[in-house]
Amino acid sequence: MIKVSRKVASISPSMTLAISAKANELKAAGVRVINFGVGEPDFNTPAHIISAAKDAMDKGYTKYVAAAGLPALKKAICQKLKKDNGLDYDPSQIIVSNGAKHSIFNALFATIDDGDEVIIPSPYWLTYPEVVKSCGGVPVYVETTREGGYKMTAEQLEAAITPKTKMLILNSPANPTGSVYVQEEIEKIAHVCVKHNILVLSDEIYEKLIYGGEKHYSIAQVSPEMKELTIVINGVSKSYAMTGWRLGYLACAPVIAKAIASFQSHSTSNVNTMTQYAAIAALEGPTEPMEEMIKAFGDRRQKMMKLLDGYRDIGLDYVKPDGAFYLMLVVEKLFGKSYKGKQIRGSMDVADILLTEKQVAVTPGICFGDDEVIRLSYALSFEDIKTGLEKIAELAREVQ
């Protein structure tokens, strides 16, 4: 019998797979499914970015380049980090990889040893624990509350630290909650991390997608000591509608960057060269197309919350999101009831019934460590959002 390695055996299969497989089956059968499960902007990559990739190909830039990234792209990333975040990095501290997810893997692989504990505020993006486990680490969850806007406090962090704690994963703006940590909250968390010498993987992929007046603040900005402990993760996927291009990057202390550069040179080598030229155009080019996309997300969020405000009396509540393009809809009041004879026991049942009975695809909160909610993405047209929410409300009214 073939045995896979212990490392991969510890990785859980994606819980969303069954739901998306069923949604695809329905779609293939010609059923119109409203999909609140999407994790990417429903906008095309701006034209000037696409042109830059075509130009690169026409000019023959189709060969291997430096494994950790084109020097011109690393320079553009350093300029971005300086301009947007006030952070000074040398290009040697930047590693360009195949998407932010790949950057996260590289960062953990380079820093986590067997048995190291990694603190993850919950609800969390479902990839974090799996990557931690595949690197031999142990995920330690800190439960946040809806009342606290799903944000971990410095006190909660302090209480979760043990002699084995190596790292904290911080994600702001957050998937799946849409929460955004403000400067003061981040400063308090940083104080604890510096005190206990804990690394922070700061996933800032949704940085540009903030609404309602909050400002993005990177934990690396707090102090030189905190910057040394931080691995900043970012990329072009969400901010520039470039999910399929596969380009993410990280910025960190030289010793970690050097290790990741060596590892990447023996694993994936460079990110495809044309994508790197496209990313330079994204970072250095006009910002208007992206501002329009962000405005559209902001408008949808506002209208969506307005509709949901009218649903409180039918047992549906939500936590106001400040960023990314997700909203947590609280469905726990439906638990214990049934629909057409089907018992509702948790978020998976809600998602299942919504799909089969109402043709609405959502992501059950259990995938993110919170079984009382479902996650709704608003990366779909407002027309679809409205129809989908009406169908969810129908279900809430019809359960018995």
Which residues of this chain interact with ligand PLP, rule CB under 6 A?
39, 99-101, 125, 171, 175, 203, 205, 235, 237, 243, 248
Nearest to 263 by CA among 103, 73, 130: 103
- Backbone angles phi and psi of 174, in degrees to 5: -105, 145
Query: Is the CB of 80 or the CB of 358 nearer to ligand PLP?
Result: 80
SS3 for 306? helix
Question: Closest approach of Cβ 248 to ligand PLP, in Å?
Answer: 4
Inter-residue contact 172 to 149 (CB < 8 Å):
no
Chain residue whose CB lies nearest ligand PLP: 99
Q: What is the CA angle 229-234-238, rounded to 5?
A: 155
| Cβ at position 91, least distance to ligand PLP in Å | 20
Query: Strands of 199-203's sheet, edge to edge?
Result: 94-97, 248-251, 230-235, 199-203, 165-171, 117-122, 138-143
Q: Which amino acid, 398?
A: E
Place of tokens 């990110």: 271
Q: Least distance in Å: CB of 220 to ligand PLP?
A: 17
Nearer Cβ to ligand PLP, position 99 or 346? 99
Closest approach of ligand PLP to the CB of residue 195, in Å:
26
Choice between 36 and 311, CB closer to ligand PLP: 36
Rounded Cα gap, residues 204 and 106, in angstroms? 16
Helices (H), 208-287: 224-229, 254-266, 273-284
Q: Residue 342 has which token pair?
A: 């089907």
Nearer to ligand PLP among residue 46 and residue 235 (C-beta) = 235
Please classify residue 118 by burial: count the beta carbons closer than 10 Å to its beta carbon, then call 0-12 exposed, 13-18 middle and 19+ buried.
Answer: buried
Residue with tokens 């089956």, as numbered in its chain: 25
Q: How far is the CB of 97 from ligand PLP (least distance, A)?
A: 9
Cβ proximity to ligand PLP, 290 vs 396, nearer residue:
290
Q: How far is CA 273 from CA 56, 246, 268, in A?
A: 8, 11, 13
296: tokens are 């559209």
- The residue (of 316 and 367) whose beta carbon lies closer to ligand PLP is 367
Residue 46 or 248: which CB sits closer to ligand PLP?
A: 248
DSSP 88: -
Q: How far apart are the C-alpha atoms of 250 and 248, rounded to whole Å?
A: 7
Closer residue to ligand PLP in complex, CB, 67/250: 250
Residues in the chain: 400
Q: How far is the CB of 101 from ligand PLP (least distance, A)?
A: 3
In the complex, least distance from residue 262 CB atom to ligand PLP, rounded to whole angstroms: 22
Integer CA distances (angstroms), 380 to 66, 254, 291, 300, in order? 37, 41, 17, 9
Residue 100 or residue 120: which is nearer to ligand PLP going by CB? 100
CB of 399 to ligand PLP, least distance (A): 31
For the bound state, the minimum distance from the C-beta of residue 53 to ligand PLP, rounded and expressed in Å, comes to 17
Task: Report the nearest approach of ligand PLP to the CB of residue 361 (Å).
Answer: 16
At 375, phi and psi to the nearest 5? -95, 130
55-71 in b/e burial notation, b at 16+ Cβ within 10 A? ebeeeeeeeebebbbbe
Report the residue number, 104 or 199, with the smaller CB distance to ligand PLP: 104
